[in-house]
Structure formats: C-alpha cells, structure tokens
Structure 1
Amino acid sequence: MERVELAAWLRLLETPGLGLARARQLLAAFGSAEALVGASPAAWREVLGAKAAEVLSQPPDSLPDQIDRTIDWLAADPRHQLLTLGDPDYPEALLQTADPPLLLYMSGRRELLNTEGLAIVGSRTPTPQGRDNAASFAREVSRAGYCVVSGLALGIDGAAHEAALSGPGSTLAVLGTGLDQLYPSRHQALGRRIEDEGLLVSEYSLGTPPLSPNFPRRNRIIAGLSRGCLVVEAALRSGSLITARLASEAGREVFAIPGSIHSPLARGCHELIRQGATLVESPAELLEALRPIVGKSKTLPLVAEDPEPGGEPGLVLQALGHDPVTLDALIARGGWPAAQLNALLLELELEGLVARLPGQLFQRRRRG
C-alpha cells in the first residue's frame, strides 16, 4: 500500500468521533479512501451533515506519526500486511456480517483468512478438564483441516491455539490490541508462535493498548471468520457468550460442551444449549455436525501425509513461502538460473505442490 493510500485510510479510521458507520457511509459515497479524503468539505457535508463533516476536517495530530509507524512496521517483516474492505482477498465470511472491519492488520499466514474456520472460546480461568477439552477439540479440528479461531486470551483461548498449531488447519488469533502490543503478556511466546505458524489479526491500529471495550468488540471478528462457534466453558456472564451470540446473529452454528450441574463454568454452556446450541461431547460429534455446514463441495486445506520433497525441489518450496511470488523473486531468493528454476517449478506443479497463477505468479499448494 502506497503512503498516500495508507494516509487516507488512517485518517478515515483514526479521526476521533467519526466512527465506522460514518466511515462506511463515506466509502460508499466516494468509492475509495483516497477519493473521500481528497473531496471538499462541502461534499462531505452532503453525505454526513455539517457536524460530522467538521469532525472529518480536523485530522488527529498523531496522524503523521501513525502513518510513519505503520510504514515502518510493514517494511520490518514480509509477514506484516494490511487488508482493506475493498480488497479482492477480503474474507467473504466477514463481508457477510453486519459490521465488517474496514481495515485489518495481519501478521503470519494470510491464506488462513479464507480457509474454513471454527471459533473455540471459553473461560479465562477454566477447570483442568475444560483446558483439556479445549486442547482435545482444537487438535482434532485442526487435524481435520479447519482453522481454529480464537482471541489469544488466557485459559480456553490459549489452550485451543496451542493445540491447533499441531495440525494442518492451524490457528488464527484475533487481538483486541494493536499487533505490536501482544496481550496478555503471558501469551507473548504463544503469540510469536502463532505469527510464525498461524495468523495474527487485528482491526486496531499499531500502538493500541489493551482497552476493555475493544475485547468484546473484536469478538464479532472471531465469530465472523468462523463457520461455527464452540463454547467449552463459560459462566453466565462472560465474553464467550457474547461471541456465541454474535455468531448466532451472523448465521453461524453454535456448539457447546456440557458440564457438571454444580460447576459455575458449565452454566453458560447449559444456557446456550437451552437456547438451541448443539450439544457436543466429542470432537467426532463436532466434525460430523460441521460437514453439512461446510458442504461437500468445499475443499478443506488438508496437508498430505507424504513427506515433502527434499533436495532442490524442497528448497524451492521453502523459498516460495505461502504467498504468490514472481519468478524473478524466486531467483533472487535462491539464486537458481532461470532455466533450472522453471524445470523445478514444473516438477513441483506436476506433483500438485505448486500452482501457476495468472500474471506469471507461483504459489505453494497443499495436497489433500
């Protein structure tokens, strides 16, 4: 993203008092962030009215520093990326929700945004059995090729993320802070592992600290990115039930694991079941319930049991990474002569490990 475009998006999103609803209204009227920022105050007034137009005409003093900070962050690591509402790669599942975020900050495996996901959420202070249940369900869900989506919180979220990293579906964490402010501090190492092997996502700008209102709000993204939502343990008043409600409102299936009638952390799950959530007692039951939701036509991102090739083909796969790249970029990364690299890519393409995309791009594939 060029600086001018980034500046337009950040001005739209960081201007205090404007809000996402008005920002979305402006984008619909002007077609792009750059176009609306370049429009006249009179044009803003026609869309928003005088008061909101006056708010937009006064960008925050911190905007230049925020732009520089974001540009530096993007340049620091190729895994750091931004995704805007109008991008072709914007997740369709999130677009179908009532309040999709206008800009997402990402770090890690971008392709996980558009795989089949299951949210697994629950108490920050689970019982040992609840933690074991979260890990067991997440491990089997990831082995089946579904991406486990959660919020990096202590307790159930952390157990689900960690277990999901062992499977091909892997895991996606939606943060309630800026991506440079991993929270809670006890999950710094887990967050870095997810950044390496999964995906970190946030709608909040860099530098955003942990603020209480942001965590319930980010739950709509967890729900929106998922085909269903599993609640492992939850009290009657908990953020997990907010996520379950948002999932239900977005048309997602809600699942709940029952527990002891004497446990306060089972009462939230029991209430969800009374309201119509699907009771599940094993990962096999959950996966069986997900199959008709996903549909037979969907191809899950399963990894082959066969080991990946070694030698030069294996090195090419490593150089490819997970994003589409050009032939020139691969030559720069590995130093192969063009003729040799073309031959290696053809070999990998015939084995189903590399896809040739329009625009002379190549992308790594996962064999099912």
Structure 2
Amino acid sequence: MTAILDIQDVRKSYGAHQALKGVSLSVSEGEFIALVGPSGCGKTTLLKQIAGFEEPDQGRIAIAGADMAGVPAAKRPTSMVFQRLALFPHMTVAENVGFPLKLRKTQPGEIRKRVGQMIELMQLKTDYLTRFPRQLSGGEQQRVALARSMVSEPKLLLLDEPLSALDVKLKKVLQAELKRLHRSVGVTFVHVTHDLEEAMMLADRICVMRDGAILQLGTPADIYYRPAGSFVAGFIGETNLMPIKVTARDKSGLVYRSADIADIDGRIASDFVADGVGQGDALLMLRPELLRVLGPEEKAEGIIGAEVTEMFGKGGTVQYRARTRGGQNLVVEIPGTSSLPMRIGDKVRLGFAKKDIYVFGPGA
C-alpha cells in the first residue's frame, strides 16, 4: 500500500514539557487509523502537527510524498473535524458545507453541485440546506460538520474526538455512519479518541500512545489479544494479568508454574509468548470473555479455582469478579441468561484454552 502520510522522528516541546518524543508513523492510502492513549499522551498534539496548526521542533511530516515543513494549514491537503464542531451559526447548512469551496473561489454552480452530493452522502434531507445549525439535532450538526470537512476532497481527514460530546445511543449510530463514510469515499482517516471501543470498531489499525511516544501500532486484534505489555493490555479493555514463574525457555516455548493455575502440561508455545520473555517472573494475560465456567468434572487445558465476590448485569452479558486462592482478583464475562450460573460466594472452576492466553514480561 502507498503511504499517504509519513511521519519521521517528530518531536515537540512546550517549555520543559516534551509532548512528542521522536514519533514515527506511516499511514497507507485509504486507511483508517485511530490514535488512543491517556490524557496528555500526545495524540492531539500529533494531530495538530499533521494539520499544520503547529510546526514540530524536529522531524519530518510528508503527505502524498510532499514535505509539509512550512506549509500552512490552509494549503495542506487535509481537513479536520473538531470535538466542538465550530459550525458558523449565522450561515445556513448549505453555506456552512460550501464554505471551504468558497474560500477556494470555486464557481457557484460547482459549489451547489458538490454541496448537494455531500448532503446526499451524509443522508441529510435536502430541505436542511436552508436551515441554520441551531435548528438541527446534535447528530445532524455532526453530519454537517463531516460534510463540510469532506466537500473539498482532502487526502487526509483528521478527527479530534468528534463524537465524544454525544449521548451513547447517538454515538453508536454515528460510529456506524463514520465507518460507512470511510468505506464510501476511500479517504484516509486519522482519528483521535478516548473511546477504546470506538477505536476497536472503526480503525484498521490502532496506535497506542503514552508520554509522547508510540507504545504499539497494530490491528485491533493485535492490540487486544497480543498487547506489547501490561499498559496496553490494561488500557484496551478489561483483562486479567496473572503472575507466573517461567522455569525454562527455548525456541518452542516455555515451561511455567503458578500458584493459581492448574495447567495440563505447564507449557506455553512460543506463538503465545512475547519477545524477550525469559526465565523468571512474567505475566499471563486472560481476557474476561475467554474464561469459561466449568462443570464439576469438566476438563480444560488450564483451570483456575476461585470464589465469586461480585456480579454485574450488563444486559447482553454478565460480569463476575472472583478471587483466587492466591489472592488474585479475576474478571469473568459470560453471555447474559435468565438463569445465572454463578452467585456471590460460589466456589468455581474457571477454564481456558492455551490459544487464548498471551505472556509478556512484568516490566513491559
């Protein structure tokens, strides 16, 4: 795939605070990439560098092969949608959407044509063209903002948490709309979000950042099931991290022991072990939905004994908290049913398959 965005060793400081610490990232044409991380990790700062609102102190940003050094935001082949949509209140929907084309001195007939195309793409009614933003719902305003950002046919669409202020139900609808829009127009999306479920739903790849650096870049499945370490594992969804002792390691995998896990053979194949794990302490990751409640005589490749300490109904699923004999707290999530399989105080056996675990070092 051709790289539409190439970022090399970008650094940015605000006084003594180093917001970006040598970030490098390549984004393919037509890709949807999400930047996630805790507040202050540098994701919005990176978006501003791409958009041209700020210049990096060091490093190179290229879009479609052209170096963006010194190129102002208005001259870059990018468009940005902000958390606060910044629609012009005194302009109609048609005027708002067509404003970027008017700035480029596009002919009025062409503006009307392209505004109409964008309104249709956003599935807005044509009579909305004469309305003002205050006459629209939050979701309709969001669609207008997206239409305005797309009407100039940017090579890169930059999204800075555009759905964060919406209620949960409307957010779900617009997440689906955003995915449909990306699929329809084929423009490259770079999306900053705090909503990890949103990143998993929408992105082709997720970039996890912390303290101005990229910790891991990969597909949603990579990030979720093969995290680079305990921070990424804990940041992207809930998980269980169980301490183990690695007693032997070779190319085929490792041998381990645990006070809480009864393993069928005490071995884990190398496919499920992160690079750099050797003898000594390590962490075994188990996602809550990959643990299952075993019957009294039922067998599994790995079994954990625990006591149920809490229960939370979530509609489609039920989440349990359980404590192992060694004092480890576990989260177990199973499909919701009308008859609950476990109650608080129950002693249970939790089973897992070897293909569903992942092991990394304690300091990762």
Normalising by structure 2, what TM-score?
A: 0.23
Q: Which has the higher contact order (CA 8 A, sep 6+)?
A: 2
Q: Would you tell me which structure has more strand in proportion to its own residues?
A: 2
Q: Would you tell me which structure has more helix in proportion to its own residues?
A: 1
